[in-house]
Amino acid sequence: QVQLVESGGGLVPPGGSLRLSCAASEFTLEYHAIAWFRQALGKERERVSCISRATGSTYYKNSVEGRFTISSDRAKSTAYLQMDSLKPEDTAIYYCAAATGPYCSDQIVGYTSWGQGTQVTVSS
């Protein structure tokens, strides 16, 4: 069973940086693509980024392209989301999720294992 635990959220001023971590159960990163989603208050959950296990390709939501970087360390069974130049509109609960297989999915139903989420607040 895939288990995911996020950490690294917090309060940061606009323009600041945070690195989120997603600790996964053993072998998860060997077989599953990993994505980061976020959900702001009153809004739907949206995919922010994804890294494909099959191809190594990375995907980003347009509004975070060039500011966020997704990566994974299979030896540590941990995925990361480096977030730079943060904006108030990045404020949300951030979740990591494992896809059903090694490819990223555009659909939220393509992700069947979720972490508990970590709060990111960008405010002065």
Note the pLDDT tens digit of each residue in 14-59.
999 999 999 999 888 889 999 999 999 999 999 999 999 988 899 9
- Residue 1 clears pLDDT 90, i.e. is over it: no
Sign (positive or negative) of CA dihedral 97, 100, 105, 110: negative
Average model confidence (pLDDT) across the chain: 96
Token couple for 74: 């299979």
N-terminal to C-terminal alpha carbon distance within the chain: 40
Chain center to CA of 113:
13
- Find the helix or strand (DSSP H, E) in which 67 lies: none
Question: Could you tell me the sign of the dihedral formed by the alpha carbons of 104, 78, 11, 116, in that order?
Answer: positive
Residue 26 confidence (pLDDT): 85
pLDDT, tens digit, 9 for 90 and up, residues 48-96:
999 999 888 999 999 999 999 999 999 999 999 999 999 999 999 999 9
